[in-house]
Every structure is written in structure tokens, then in C-alpha cells.
Amino acid sequence: MIRLPEFVDEHVFEWACDEVSRKKKIDTTKARFLKIKEGLCVQCLHIGAYDDEPRTLKLIDDYIHTNGLQSDINETRRHHEIYLCDPRKTEVSKLKTVLRIPVKRES
């Protein structure tokens, strides 16, 4: 997923897809505009290679357990990765990804 600025609505999204398709000849037919209301989550900014994300996910897991929460990953709530950099243009050590885990309070 790529987080979009607040001003981007479905109309702007469709326009952007059309422009990319026309000017860059890139297939955008699989791109989707989604608004997600996620509820309670724990997230962390991971900086570095995607292969090193398990280290950051371990920090998130430790935080969840230390703070009376539990993971709430299921069919409707999923782990998300929000990519803030273009991996084609960014040095691997400087890649930024928001890792987000849905949680609920321990019962």
C-alpha cells in the first residue's frame, strides 16, 4: 500500500492512473483506491532493507505484549506495510516503511 494525501479522492486517483497509463505506458488496472478504518493499531517506522523488517516487527511484538495488547490479525484486519520511498530511487539503507499491526486490548 501507498498512503495517499488527504486531498486525493477517487476522482483524483482515477485521473492519476489515466495519466500514468497514457504518459508512462504503465498498466494501472490493478491499482485500487481504498479507504480503510483500521481501529486500534501499533505501528513503527522501519528504516532500511525490507529483509530486515523482522527486527522491527519483533520490537512491535514486544511493545504489544508489554502494554496489555494482543495482535488482532484476522480475515478483516491485516498487517500493513506502507511504503514511503520509491525502492528504484532510494538507497536500500534509507528505505522507509511504516509497519502496522492491528491490535486489541487483552481480555
- DSSP string for residues in 6-32: TT--HHHHHHHHHHHHHHH----TT--
Determine the pLDDT at residue 9: 95
User: Residues 28, 45: one domain?
Assistant: no
User: Residues 43, 86: one domain?
Assistant: yes
Strand 96-105 to 41-47 pairing: antiparallel
Range of the domain at 69: 38-105
User: Residues 19, 55: one domain?
Assistant: no
- Do 46 and 94 meet the contact criterion of CB atoms below 8 Å apart? no
CA 54 to chain centre: 15
User: Residues 7, 44: one domain?
Assistant: no
Full-model pTM: 0.74
- Do 103 and 71 meet the contact criterion of CB atoms below 8 Å apart? yes
User: Residues 13, 28: one domain?
Assistant: yes
Split at pLDDT 50, 70, 90, the class of 2 is confident
User: Residues 47, 65: one domain?
Assistant: yes
Split at pLDDT 50, 70, 90, the class of 35 is confident
Predicted confidence (pLDDT) per residue in 59-81, tens digit? 999 999 999 999 999 998 999 99
User: Residues 45, 94: one domain?
Assistant: yes
User: Residues 9, 31: one domain?
Assistant: yes
- Do 3 and 82 meet the contact criterion of CB atoms below 8 Å apart? yes
